[in-house]
Chains A and B, each alone.
Chain A
Amino acid sequence: MSRFAKVKTAEKFELSTYKYGFSMPENYVFKAKKGLNEQVVAMISKMKNEPEWMTIFRLKAYQIFLGKPMPEWGADLSDIDFNDIFYYLKPNIKTEKSWDDVPSEIKDTYDKLGIPEAEKDYLGGVKAQYESEVVYGSLQKKYSDMGIIFCSMDEAVVKYPELVTEYFGKLIPSGDNKFAALNSAVWSGGSFVYVPKGIKVDLPLQAYFRINSANMGQFERTLIIVDEDSYVHYVEGCTAPIYSTDSLHAAVVEVFVKKGARCRYTTIQNWSTNVYNLVTKRAKVEENGTMEWVDGNLGSKITMKYPAVVLAGRKAHGEILSVAVAGEGQHLDAGAKCIHLAPDTTSRIISKSISLKGGRSSYRGLVSMAPGAKGARSKVVCDALILDDKSRSDTYPTNKILENEVTLEHEATVSKVGEEQLFYLMSRGFEEHEAEAMVVNGFIEPIVKELPMEYSVELNRLIQLQMEGSVG
């Protein structure tokens, strides 16, 4: 082999190391194989140089995963083949993938969104985003001066063992559900955030810029702790479509909101439509604290995601604002859970779903009020918009009310974009798809206005793109 060839190999190797945030022997590259067993779980832990407790945690979670049946109450998961998935680094696949392999509809979307070349490569999974290193570096300095910890979860396990052992897996134990168990066994990547007491972080923390590990990993694990009277807005991912060859994305996100603190967590999920997106998200909110989940689901083949707030302290408040756009071949089963455990706790759920081109969206929600949650109030609004006769929308609300002195409101609407509405807008000179997009954008406006500016603009444009060609 020539010297040049060798250099090239080394480059590839560095890339993968960089992207996944841990190192491994070079020859290991060629040993990656599909499937899961105890050895694979142990190997993942070993490669990350994890402390023993985490290795044990993973192995236990793997046993729980094996013992749990596939959930059958929601979307159809019967096509998932756990033996056909890579559970750890597969650099020879990732790095050899070229721009040519990225599906043309995704490339077109990048072009229409005007995303720069470097970002296209990154979003397309072709390479890691070295270019953002400078940006990230300067933010890191600012955060650390304020005492904020913002790093990859992998790094946190080694660097901040006290915090991690106190909170990790405490809100979403491995036994919570089959996919939380799977994540607990094989997790990699994700963010760790700690905001000390009384700190209000003015700019949103964006996983997008935390690039020294895979921020869009397959089994990412995120843990956020917002200490008393602090505020943070965490933004996961970005609105541009993420192309992934991985068929399964099972993330776990735990958020602890302390007394008087507030956390907002914004996600716009836009996986390519071959991905099963099965995510467990939960926040625990203490006295006078506020948790807000702002959740957008555009992509994936199947999504099952029900961000939860556990309102554990008096006057704790939770909000879950979500929007789902289900197109051809997609089933988005999304919703929310509000668990009221303390008096005078309040919650609000606003769910908006759009079904088009034969897509299916479901709202699945739980409001639970425990004995003693006197004065608890909750309001649920779920609106569905169906664009054509091929598409479908369902609502599955569950209420468990075990206390008398509470208030619960539930409103649900299902509407179709009517001929009259389209005719009206078209009579002003707008093409049918433009008219349809106007109705749709109007419909989701209550959610979009909660998003950071650049996200709301991009979300509207993405929906517009999805509308194009949807009508003849």
Chain B
Amino acid sequence: MIKISNIKVSVENKEILRGVSLDINPGEVVVVMGKNGSGKSTMANTLMAHPKYVLEEGTIELDGEDITELSPDERANKGLFLANQYPMAVPGLTANSFLWQIYKKRNGSRISIIEFRKWIEEQAKLLDLDVELLKRGLNDGLSGGEKKKLEIMQMLVFGPKYIILDEIDSGLDVDALKKISTTIATVAKSKKIGVLVITHYNRILKYLVPDKVVVMEDGKIVKEGGAELANVIEEKGYKK
């Protein structure tokens, strides 16, 4: 379980999260909704220890272990995976090579690079991602949708215990959204992965059925409910 206990977070000395607590259980889909500036993405980045987000108070536990002081790579190695809203480009580092390095880091060299490439190609086809793009620099010159698909490719290679999806649905067309969210749903279900979905809209929830929905406003959780809450918000907006 990821246990977030009363965290207060500031960015450039401005308090963004003002005491947030949330649990994400293995195999559970937890959705965080809220308007722009409500603190949703701050939560995602804080969970991954982005240096810009300063944790002033509170703790974060992962499967009973306090990870509040751990760096991004240490948290990743505990099984935490963040699919970024804006994946960074690294020119010259090919996606293929990066995926292989992630694989080796996580699994050692259990399969040969040739077998690995074959597997990667199959996954790319399932996601409808052009394999030629994997020969380019990581996220270099890719469209928004292609970048999001590459995040999912990384997730598949990484094999996380918990996934944080920071607005994975933004900038995706209907087909891409469906491909990506069904892929995540399938993997999460079969591997009992806990998923934290951060989103504006409930359209992704058609494929990724939530166990819990929370609504954030002004750095706090203001509403909590089941899947039905997302539908209420879709119909009536974020008004109380």
Contacts and interface: CB of A to CB of B under 8 A. Distances in A.
Contacts of A424: 84, 87-88, 90
Given A430-B105, A442-B93, A445-B92, A419 B51 contact: yes
Nearest to A430: B73
A431 interface: yes
A438 B137 CA distance: 11
B98 interface: yes
Interface in B152-176: 154, 158
Given A423-B50, A424-B87, A424-B88, A441 B73 contact: no
B54 interface: no
A425 interface: yes
B1 interface: no
B96 to A, nearest CB: 13
Contacts of A435: 73
Given A424-B84, A424-B87, A438-B93, A429 B51 contact: no
A443 B72 CA distance: 23
A439 B140 CA distance: 12
A429 B92 contact: no
B92 A425 contact: no
Interface residues of B, number: 28
B98 to A, nearest CB: 7
A124 B75 CA distance: 42
B92 A441 contact: yes
B106 to A, nearest CB: 7
B91 A427 contact: no
Contacts of B76: 426-429
A444 interface: yes
Interface in B75-127: 75-77, 81-82, 84, 87-88, 90-93, 98, 101-102, 105-106
Contact of A429 (B50, B52, B105, B138): B105
B36 interface: no
Contacts of A438: 90, 93, 98, 101
A229 interface: no
A36 to B, nearest CB: 45
A207 to B, nearest CB: 29
B143 interface: no
A418 B50 CA distance: 12
A237 interface: no
Name, among A419, A427, A442, the residue most crowded by chain B CB atoms within 10 Å (CB to CB). Answer: A427
Q: Name the residue in B50, B72, B102 with the highest tally of chain A Cβ atoms < 10 Å from its Cβ.
A: B72
Contacts of A427: 48, 72-73, 75-76, 81-82, 84
Interface in A440-458: 441-446
Interface in B11-55: 48, 50-52
Interface of B: 48, 50-52, 71-73, 75-77, 81-82, 84, 87-88, 90-93, 98, 101-102, 105-106, 137-138, 154, 158
Given A429-B105, A429-B158, A443-B91, 15 more contacts: A419-B51, A424-B88, A426-B71, A427-B48, A427-B76, A427-B82, A428-B102, A432-B73, A441-B92, A442-B91, A442-B92, A443-B92, A445-B91, A445-B93, A446-B92
11 contacts: A424-B87, A424-B90, A427-B73, A427-B82, A429-B158, A432-B73, A435-B73, A438-B93, A439-B93, A441-B92, A445-B91
